Chain A
Amino acid sequence: MISQRLSSKLVFIGTVLIVAAVLAVVIAPKTITSAQGSTTDWQTIAEQRGLTEADLRAAAMTYTPSGVMDEYVMFASGGHSGQMFVVGMPSMRLLRTIAVFTPEPWQGYGYGAGEEVLAGGDINGRPVRWADTHHPALSETNGDYDGQWVFINDKANGRIAVIDLRDFETKQIVNNPLFLNDHGGTFVTPNTEYIIEGGQYAQPLGSEFVPLADYESDYRGMITFWKFDREAGRIDMSQSFAMELPPYWQDLCDAGKLVSEGWVFCNSINTELATGGIEAGNPPFEAGVSRNTTDFMHVINLNAAIEVYKAGSTVEVAGMQVIPLDTAVENNLLFFTPEPRSPHGVDIAPGGDYIVVSGKLDPHVTVYSFQKIMDTIAAGGFETDQYGVPILDYERVLEAQVEVGLGPLHTQFGPDGYAYTSLFLDSAVARWSIGAEGYRPQDGWSLISKIPVQYNVGHIATAEGDTVSPDGNLLVSLNKWSVDRFMSTGPLLPQNFQLIDIGQEGDNLQLLYDMPFTGGEPHYAQIIKADKLSAWEVYPEVGWNPLTQSVDPNAVTQGTEGVERDGNNVTVRMTAVRSHFTPEHIDIQAGDHVTWTITNVERARDATHGFSIPYYGISLSIEPGESITFEFDATEPGVFSYYCLEFCSALHLEMMGYLTIQPQ
């Protein structure tokens, strides 16, 4: 055995040497030519690197020279990093990480500042500083992205975050008291009146203990409509409400738009009411949940639900107003219609007139007509499910089915009547035509083309592809596996964002670029035209409090710095400017409670100062104009050197000071 291994090793080494020798012979003359300089141009380089014409086209479409801005910006969920990522397109440059649910020291989030926002996500008083972010949703005006806000959910804990796109910082986290997980969020109504959060794994509302044996009677699904107050820039919990749903594992939702505005559509995957238990000989969830050939698409009349909520026909559960299931049925708020098994996406066409569902264990996309749904509801006379919810006859609401391939998941849209659906099992993206009037009647409902992706695509995103006016041109395939696409960096592999050119008609789809993604599973992304964003370059005025988005009355101005003592309470008032903090000596005593304000009085773009206190776990990012107040108890005596964390100037090392804490 040993000798066999040895010989195969020798063969391998020999092969490598031969290949290297051949390469050396092939490449050497060219290298010499290029060294002489006579034929060194881009064609020679392309030849040497073995680039094809298609590669060069891809490079020309994506290469973005220094100083040139990207045309699109993608907001990608950061999966279980708990964050959000901002990527420029077509360059696929990572522009920014936005700390959302998880403390992040570069942004000084959760290390002295930002605690107030993070605390909004505490669950029953328990700090939960980790999240599984899933679906970002950009705010919309008239069904189009307006570039003002972006929202994202935490599937693991059932929470929603609000991010302000003036400074790309998280302003609010709300915890849904009904549910400890969610998946069908976030989605916004066409004017961002409501942020939709659908649950996922059924549980007793309010997260009380109920044994699994009582699944049918006591476990429930839910959908929550969070009222967004644009003026305040916050979710208004007092104007928000939820609806009780059967325990069918609601999965993804989408808000109706244009003709279907005021309606919400969700799919569900466990109409089997499977409760698993592989260890007890029960079918495991993966089988139990997939047994039925159809599940139920939920059709929710949001406008009518708002009326019912406002009329007070709700019950309070764990502090949340909930429309009970029977009230929802009585008031015609909820209808079901069958959908192919284990559906994963429900996506509404740009005109709001067609609803596309993909059953991941069915090779078709199934398209429902909103008009037919309305007609069927109006006609009445339904069967109901075991919870009394009316079921619309599948044949009467179905518009078309298109066979696209194996494992269809999510659909996005182009401006030209094309739709794109990710195919998980095929590792491909399908382009198909919407055969209806206003889309591509000339092509009918048909598959146009498929492009392989590497590998296991989940969501896809086209530029503004879920709005009333998709932009098209580019598509990003958010692949779960990268396998062999990147150099090995150990057994944990990055995900793969693949950029695809969809700007040409017919079967011309070209893969342009692979971007490794190392921050958790980038679940879903939305892509906005860059010119719709207008983030501040520096905070508008010196002394700015990013939480209130106004000048903080406690902000420190130059010349008014100092340390004040009131009993055991010490107030430090400090300014930061290149390259010094004022004051540089802070002398306090053990046992003091310290309230420390630092104002960065800089106005120059990028003149951010960091601030850190060792041992006490303080790390701040004080951006130009920003004022931050943090507090701590000086429990440990000693000498603590504080310094600027950003390399702000040539004398950055000298931008420090001493905090001395005398023993009591």
Chain B
Amino acid sequence: MATQTMSQSETLSEDKRSDKTAPRLLTWIPTGLMLLASVLVIASIAFPYWGLVLEAPQYPGGLQMRVFVNRMTGDEDPRLDEVREIDGLNHYIGMQSLYNAASFERSIAIPAVIIMVVLLVVAAFLRRRWAWVLTLPAIAFPFIFLGDLAFWMNNYGQNLDPYAPLSSAIEPFTPPIIGEGVIGQFKTVAYVDTGWYLAVVAVVLVSAALLIRMLRSRAASRES
């Protein structure tokens, strides 16, 4: 009998709370989304943002380069440093070493991501109208990454060493940052990779959070 009474009283109290539950949820959902976005951005560091496969007959399976926010690697094969191998091939057309590209950006990438995430976490809990400003770096980040990549690709393609073995055969060019390109007899396929997608999902989550907050504050101002 006692248990029955208990459950009855619980049901009562829940009923009392129910009218406040929706607004509370609307407060915490954006916070949760932003925290989730923070986790995704942090996680994205561990994944490549961009990749390039260089296809040539004498490299069965192609040469694979993967670009992370702060580093570049080849495939998982530890014996062959494929970035170095691509560098070796690039020297024929006078392209600079890929290891020299975006070295400043790569050096500040990790602190920048940490600051970005800290701002995101602050924005998640901060109940201020201007809090959205703090999310801007995270929203812009994947697009800044691609923009910077495009800058360097262009820079590398345009500034070829005139004393390279094949300098007379290759005109300066701008390699595509996504999709197929051709350098000499090599076909290249460039694509955005897991890390970049995670960062974009984070952008979607943050945007959704901001949208919910905006709608809620509008609703609140209408009620008042």
Residues of chain A having any CB pair with chain B under 8 Å: 537-538, 540, 577-579, 602-606, 651, 654
A577 touching B88 by the CB < 8 A rule?
Answer: yes
Query: Quick one: which of B158-214 are within 8 Å of A by CB?
Result: 165
Complex: A579 Cα to B93 Cα, angstroms: 13
Closest 9 CB pairs of A and B: A603-B80, A603-B81, A604-B85, A651-B165, A538-B79, A578-B88, A604-B80, A603-B79, A577-B88
What residues on A are CB-neighbors of B84 within 8 Å? Answer: 603
Complex: A537 Cα to B80 Cα, angstroms: 10
A538 touching B165 by the CB < 8 A rule?
Answer: no
A540 touching B88 by the CB < 8 A rule?
Answer: no
The reply to whether the CB of B130 lies closer than 8 angstroms to some CB of chain A is no
What residues on A are CB-neighbors of B145 within 8 Å? Answer: none
The reply to whether the CB of B141 lies closer than 8 angstroms to some CB of chain A is no
Q: Can you pick out 23 interface pairs between chain A and chain B where the beta carbons lie within 8 Å of each other?
A: A537-B79, A538-B79, A538-B80, A540-B79, A577-B88, A578-B88, A579-B92, A579-B165, A602-B88, A603-B79, A603-B80, A603-B81, A603-B84, A603-B85, A604-B59, A604-B80, A604-B85, A604-B88, A605-B80, A606-B58, A651-B92, A651-B165, A654-B165
Complex: A578 Cα to B79 Cα, angstroms: 18
Residues of chain B having any CB pair with chain A under 8 Å: 58-59, 79-81, 84-85, 88, 92, 165
Complex: A537 Cα to B85 Cα, angstroms: 16
What's the nearest-Cβ distance from chain A to residue B90, in Å?
A: 12
What residues on A are CB-neighbors of B165 within 8 Å? Answer: 579, 651, 654
Complex: A578 Cα to B88 Cα, angstroms: 7
Complex: A579 Cα to B85 Cα, angstroms: 13
Complex: A577 Cα to B84 Cα, angstroms: 11
What residues on A are CB-neighbors of B85 within 8 Å? Answer: 603-604
Complex: A590 Cα to B92 Cα, angstroms: 36
Complex: A603 Cα to B195 Cα, angstroms: 28
- Look across to chain B and name the residue whose beta carbon is closest to the beta carbon of A541: B79
What residues on A are CB-neighbors of B58 within 8 Å? Answer: 606
What's the nearest-Cβ distance from chain B to residue A578, in Å?
A: 6
Beyond contacts A603-B84, A654-B165: 15 other A-B pairs, Cβ-Cβ < 8 A, are A538-B79, A540-B79, A577-B88, A578-B88, A579-B92, A579-B165, A602-B88, A604-B59, A604-B80, A604-B85, A604-B88, A605-B80, A606-B58, A651-B92, A651-B165
What's the nearest-Cβ distance from chain B to residue A562, in Å?
A: 20
Q: Which of B58, B59, B79, B165 gathers most chain A CB within 10 Å?
A: B79
Complex: A579 Cα to B92 Cα, angstroms: 9
Q: Which of A540, A577, A578, A603 gathers most chain B CB within 10 Å?
A: A603
What residues on B are CB-neighbors of A538 within 8 Å? Answer: 79-80
- Look across to chain B and name the residue whose beta carbon is closest to the beta carbon of A577: B88
- Look across to chain B and name the residue whose beta carbon is closest to the beta carbon of A604: B85
Q: Which of A538, A604, A605, A651 gathers most chain B CB within 10 Å?
A: A604
Complex: A540 Cα to B85 Cα, angstroms: 16
Complex: A654 Cα to B81 Cα, angstroms: 25
What's the nearest-Cβ distance from chain A to residue B165, in Å?
A: 6
What's the nearest-Cβ distance from chain A to residue B211, in Å?
A: 50
What residues on A are CB-neighbors of B59 within 8 Å? Answer: 604
What's the nearest-Cβ distance from chain B to residue A59, in Å?
A: 27
What residues on A are CB-neighbors of B81 within 8 Å? Answer: 603
- Look across to chain B and name the residue whose beta carbon is closest to the beta carbon of A542: B81
What residues on B are CB-neighbors of A654 within 8 Å? Answer: 165
Complex: A602 Cα to B84 Cα, angstroms: 9
